[in-house]
Homo-oligomer: A and B are copies of this chain.
Amino acid sequence: MVPLKILKSIAQKNEKKILLIVLDGVGGIPFNYGKTELEMANTPNLDKFASISETGFHIPCSYGITPGSGPAHLGIFGYDPFSYTIGRGVLEALGIGVELEENELCARANFATIDKNGIVIDRRAGRISTEENKRICEILKENMGEIDGVKVSIYPGKEHRFVVVFKGEDLEEFLTDCDPQKEGKPIPEAKATAKSSERAARIVNSFLKRAIKVLSKEKKANAILMRGFSKIPPIPKMQDIFKLNPCAIATYPMYKGLAKLVGMEVLKTGDTLRDQIKTLKENYNKFDFFFFHYKKTDSKGEDGDFNGKVRAIEDFDQVLPEILSLNFSAVAITGDHSTPAKLKSHSWHPSPLAIHGEYVFPDDVNEFHERAFRKGSLGVIYSTDVLPILLALSGKLKKYGA
């Protein structure tokens, strides 16, 4: 990939508009009837798009690597996912919609059950219900307040999961987990692995003690575990590196959060594709880069619901012409990673990619699916190469060297 400092030195602003459509987890492998979801789906509009595009695949991180949503999106946003990493705590917080600030340290947390000797006997507190979770989070909140000038915030997630955010100065993230990882052991205190985190360790451990005291009357959720202490990473903004004025049209908190991390303005939108298109149209004049995220393809893939994923693809195909009726100098349609229904999870398989623009040299591929794209002219590129191509097609990169 091109070093960011070189991209920064040649990026230039102009009025042209780029559209990056991410059909989350859209790629698959043959499953029902020996076909992938994209092969099975009836997609006249995506096929038409393929016929005017260069097609191929991108590899989200590297061969054989199954990426989480964080690294997968960083890659297609143009950032090396091995150089820029997002802590587990931060990802969990983004995923439930917490808007983090720079002086906030956060952690993924579980409610857990300990015995009278403080030994963890259930790391998930019997998988308490989400409702129960909310009730207990309220108790924690009421009894917590500040610790040595640090404000502690609690955000319930699903079942036994929640997020803790410590807001204050000098709270660095170099901490070991307060989690024994297995049952039959006591909860370890956080240890600072760097001097700059010693204050954070004291605050976290004092919170841990207080929480166990406050929860002592709970039957199941009488303790907490914390891991993945992290802060929002210092990722240079797309405005600064690529000279873009970017926005995100996404319905799920995780993707909104990831978009915000790289500088995108996260637009308010509704839950449906129709809402997202309305938002795109209303904001068309205000931005020059649009990240359009469609979640359903990934959700159905994660469920192992092949037919559901096929329908999700067909639903998107229906609205594509309306999206493309707006004028973009470059459009990419791809996934962040693959989520084959056969695997019921993210996977390492290359993600199908089609790029259209005035200066694209279309190949002979006329169908939008993995088998067809294998004959595409883009071949297999890395996810970090996608954005430079879109910038080039839009005249947003000056010549490198003379």
Contacts and interface: CB of A to CB of B under 8 A. Distances in A.
A374 B363 contact: yes
A70 B402 contact: yes
Given A3-B82, A29-B361, A65 B397 contact: yes
Interface residues of A, number: 58
Interface of A: 1-3, 6, 10, 29-30, 36, 61-72, 81-82, 85-86, 88, 91-92, 340, 342-343, 345-349, 359-361, 363, 370, 374, 377, 379-381, 385, 387-392, 397-402
A348 B398 CA distance: 10
Contact of A385 (B64, B388, B399): B64
A399 B66 contact: yes
> Most chain-B Cβ atoms within 10 A of its Cβ — which of A65, A68, A391?
A65
A6 B67 CA distance: 12
A392 B62 contact: no
B401 A68 contact: yes
> Most chain-B Cβ atoms within 10 A of its Cβ — which of A61, A86, A390?
A61
Given A91-B402, A402-B88, A389 B348 contact: yes
Contact of A374 (B10, B343, B377): B377
Contacts of A388: 62-65, 348
Given A62-B1, A397-B64, A359 B381 contact: no
Contacts of A69: 401-402
Given A2-B82, A64-B389, 13 more contacts: A2-B63, A3-B82, A6-B82, A64-B388, A68-B399, A68-B401, A69-B402, A71-B400, A71-B401, A81-B401, A88-B402, A340-B359, A347-B392
